[in-house]
């Protein structure tokens, strides 16, 4: 076992963090308040190469291995205060780009991947529906093949990036009686008649990441919009969710490191009863717990990245990592808020926002309960 980072890995992480500090953390308080997505920051990430991480060089990316990817995302979380922006990037990279890389036709790859990498296109993954969330394959959206086209009808909810997206990866059933085997995925451009996007949905956290409903009403798309094989939607969804679960919280390890650093600083500087609050054991213990969570989260994440890079099975580890990182993020951001006292509750201190952002991680990409179900299955329960 070797837990040391190479010189190049250290250098790479420092470069990513510096980039994120310099270009991605402007006025996050204001944009969070207004629910504003930053297209400018998105473009800057593209120029830097973030969106291209999972994409082969031939299509404008860098095809980074899993370990490099988790290091990049961790470093991004350390430098970038805009968790919503990072969440939007993740939503595109793992749930849209990766399935196109893995299952797309050569034409679909050449058409979409270069523009997703260079930031000129934004993609949204539309699976959840009003009546099907955790039970994703109970979806009601239908696709009917007719005269060289598919006709889609139905509606999607909670689609991250939808208000600004140019491309949608939509799941629909071709034949409900066939269950999983009836589901297919479609790449649909925003301007296709019959597809419309609802008003932005306001949410508790990740407010700089836009979200909306997506409606399909007699939405006709040519057959070459089908992604992968007819009826392979469920398998593709499982494949991409396993990757999304693995990477989507890598950045929160960086965020937790940032929260820990500033909590330590604050606990040293803030005095009450004539001494630094860090000298009170209850405050120090909170910070100790933050440190412990950071280290365990990082170990799980790096091990997962290593397993993936080595081509080993990572199904159990991806669920454990998603489960643990989300719970650590929630608890550590709450602990940071307690350390900052009343100031932590005020927006300008940028502590309360992490709490609101963290709660979402218990829900998206499979709720905590669903991750536990997966782990239990792996344990033979």
* Residue 244 is among the residues annotated as catalytic for this protein: yes
Choose the stretch contacting ligand FAD; rule: CB under 6 A; options: 45-53, 121-129, 227-235, 294-302. Answer: 121-129
Q: Can residue 375 be called a binding residue for ligand FAD (CB under 6 A)?
A: no
Which of 82, 90, 91 shows the shortest CA–CA distance to 30?
A: 82
Quote the CA–CA distance of 103 and 304 in Å, as a whole number.
23
Q: Can residue 234 be called a binding residue for ligand FAD (CB under 6 A)?
A: no
Quote the CA–CA distance of 304 and 246 in Å, as a whole number.
7
Please say which residue, 68 or 128, places its beta carbon nearer to ligand FAD: 128
Q: How many residues does the chain have?
A: 381
Choose the stretch contacting ligand FAD; rule: CB under 6 A; options: 29-37, 190-198, 222-230, 360-368. Answer: 360-368
Q: Can residue 227 be called a binding residue for ligand FAD (CB under 6 A)?
A: no
Quote the CA–CA distance of 114 and 253 in Å, as a whole number.
29
DSSP 361: T
Q: Can residue 233 be called a binding residue for ligand FAD (CB under 6 A)?
A: no
Q: Can residue 50 be called a binding residue for ligand FAD (CB under 6 A)?
A: no
Shortest separation between residue 378's beta carbon and ligand FAD, angstroms: 15
Q: Residues 17, 69, 83, 128: which binds ligand FAD (CB under 6 A)? A: 128
Look at residue 226 and give its three-state secondary structure.
strand
Contact predicate 45/22, CB 8 Å? no
Structural tokens at position 32: 């969070």
Q: Residues 101, 111, 126, 323: which binds ligand FAD (CB under 6 A)? A: 126
Q: Can residue 79 be called a binding residue for ligand FAD (CB under 6 A)?
A: no
Q: Can residue 109 be called a binding residue for ligand FAD (CB under 6 A)?
A: no
| Strand 123-126 relative to strand 167-173, pairing | parallel
Binding mask 135-164 for ligand FAD (x = CB under 6 A): -----------------------xxx----
Distances (CA, A) of 205 to 28, 233, 261: 12, 30, 22
Q: Residues 28, 64, 127, 253: which binds ligand FAD (CB under 6 A)? A: 127
Distances (CA, A) of 335 to 10, 80, 339: 28, 20, 6
Binding site for ligand FAD (CB under 6 A): 91, 125-128, 133-134, 158-160, 206, 360, 363-364, 367, 369-370, 373
């Amino acid at each position: 076992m070797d837990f040391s980072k190479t010189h190049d890995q250290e250098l790479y992480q420092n470069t990513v963090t510096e980039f994120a500090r310099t270009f991605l953390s402007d006025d996050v308080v204001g944009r969070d308040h207004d629910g504003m997505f930053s297209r400018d920051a998105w473009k800057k990430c593209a120029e830097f190469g973030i969106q291209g991480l999972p994409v082969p060089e031939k299509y404008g990316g860098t095809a980074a291995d899993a370990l490099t990817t988790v290091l990049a995302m961790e470093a991004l979380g350390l430098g970038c205060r805009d968790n919503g922006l990072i969440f939007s990037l993740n939503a595109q990279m793992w749930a849209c780009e990766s399935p196109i890389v893995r299952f797309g036709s050569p034409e679909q790859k050449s058409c979409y991947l270069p523009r997703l990498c260079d930031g000129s296109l934004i993609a949204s993954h539309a699976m959840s529906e009003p009546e099907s969330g955790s039970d994703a394959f109970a979806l009601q959206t239908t696709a009917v093949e007719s005269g060289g086209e598919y006709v889609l009808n139905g509606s999607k909810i909670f689609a991250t990036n939808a208000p600004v997206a140019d491309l949608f990866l939509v799941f629909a059933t071709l034949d409900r009686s066939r269950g999983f085997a009836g589901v297919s995925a479609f790449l649909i451009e925003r301007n296709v008649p019959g597809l419309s996007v609802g008003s932005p949905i306001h949410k508790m956290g990740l407010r700089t990441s836009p979200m909306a409903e997506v409606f399909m009403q007699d939405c006709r798309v040519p057959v070459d919009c089908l992604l992968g094989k007819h009826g392979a939607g469920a398998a593709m969804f499982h494949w991409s969710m396993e990757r999304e679960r693995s990477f989507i919280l890598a950045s929160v390890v960086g965020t937790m490191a940032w929260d820990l650093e500033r909590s330590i600083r604050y606990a040293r500087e803030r005095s009450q009863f004539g001494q630094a609050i860090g000298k009170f054991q209850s405050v120090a213990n909170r910070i100790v717990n933050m440190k412990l969570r950071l280290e365990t989260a990082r170990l799980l994440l790096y091990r997962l990245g290593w397993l993936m890079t080595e081509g080993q099975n990572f199904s159990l580890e991806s669920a454990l990592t998603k489960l643990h990182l989300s719970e650590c993020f929630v608890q550590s951001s709450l602990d940071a808020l307690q350390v900052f006292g009343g100031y932590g509750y005020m927006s300008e201190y940028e502590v309360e926002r992490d709490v609101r952002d963290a709660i979402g991680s218990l829900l998206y990409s499979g709720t905590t309960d669903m991750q536990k179900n997966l782990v239990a299955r792996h344990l033979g329960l």
